[in-house]
Amino acid sequence: MVYVYPTMPFPIRQIRPRGFPILLKEVPDKPAQLYMRGTLPPPEHRLLCVVGSRACSAYGRRQTQKLIAGLAREKVAIVSGLALGIDSEAHKAALDVGLPTVAVLPSSCDDASLYPATNAVLAGRILKSGGALLSERTAPWKAHIHDFAARNRIMAGMSQATLIIEAGEKSGTLITARLALDYNREVLCIPHELERMGGAGANRLLRQGATLVQNSADILEALGFTARAPVQAPLPTDLTPEETSVLHTLAEPLANDEIIERSGLSAQEANAALSSLLIRGLIVERLGKIERQ
């Protein structure tokens, strides 16, 4: 298989510690130097590290896209590791809504060494969007097993908070969470269904005191932004009165019985409206509650 690599008007530049992102300068085990292609976010942007399982679920992808889309109005930049799974989804979600994104690599930044090679096109998108590829390795350097934990310390160290989307009990993502705590950074997690082992590590972090994230506003609060009133997407114009009533009722995730009680509809009317809205993808059921998409 042939991979299309990013094209070179993006030379590799060396960065000394005085040019590091502000928070990375504080890390006791910071790199001696970094190598970069592209451009780091402006200093006024707050950096959010987003990481998770390589074998991510549809739930993990959906939450990554939804949460990052909700940050688009603020000066936030997304930091991740270009790995398959949640890392890739985080970079793509940032690119889709125009947020800066930085990929921190376990390999060097040159085309031939890029890891994983299958994400060469995504690396090119990051560079062309004004983002950056970052590494502490001199080119050429193929990624070795010890390079991944070393890469994770850079991601956690340069970011104000780390958001864990999915992590199994023995996931490498938990290393990033531990490093973030070591550096006195906030660790954020989204909850997972108890039966899904791919989220067991994230649920354990929540039990141990990580900040619960239910929406983008929770992330913005952790990053220190002033709360804004949420912007609700306009309702479709072809809804029935019962469907409209249900959607207006869903200002927060609710159980089925709560929707019936608050909407004033009969159980038959509410259930018919819920079935139609589920089919149309306007609502979703997770963790026993129903919420608007």
pLDDT single digits (tens) 250-292: 877 888 888 888 888 999 998 898 888 888 778 888 777 888 8
pLDDT band at 1 (very low <50, low <70, confident <90, very high): very low
Q: How far is CA 151 from the centre of its chain?
A: 17
216-228: string of b/e by CB count within 10 Å (b at 16+)?
bbbbbebbebeee
Q: How far is CA 132 from the centre of its chain?
A: 17
Residue ranges, comma separated, of all CATH 1.10.10.10 domains in the chain are 241-292
User: What architecture does CATH give domain 241-292?
Assistant: Orthogonal Bundle (1.10)
Q: Options 1.25.40.10, 3.40.50.450, 3.40.50.1220, 3.10.20.440; which CATH number does 13-222 get?
A: 3.40.50.450
Q: ω into residue 106 within 30 of 0, thus cis?
A: no
Answer whether residue 234 shows pLDDT above 70: no
Answer whether residue 104 shows pLDDT above 90: yes
By percentage, how much of the chain surpasses pLDDT 70? Answer: 92
Q: Which of 30-39, 235-244, 250-259, 268-277 has the highest mean pLDDT?
A: 30-39
SS3 state of residue 20? coil
Mean pLDDT of 79-104: 95
pLDDT band at 172 (very low <50, low <70, confident <90, very high): confident
pLDDT band at 230 (very low <50, low <70, confident <90, very high): low
pLDDT band at 6 (very low <50, low <70, confident <90, very high): very low
Answer whether residue 228 shows pLDDT above 90: no
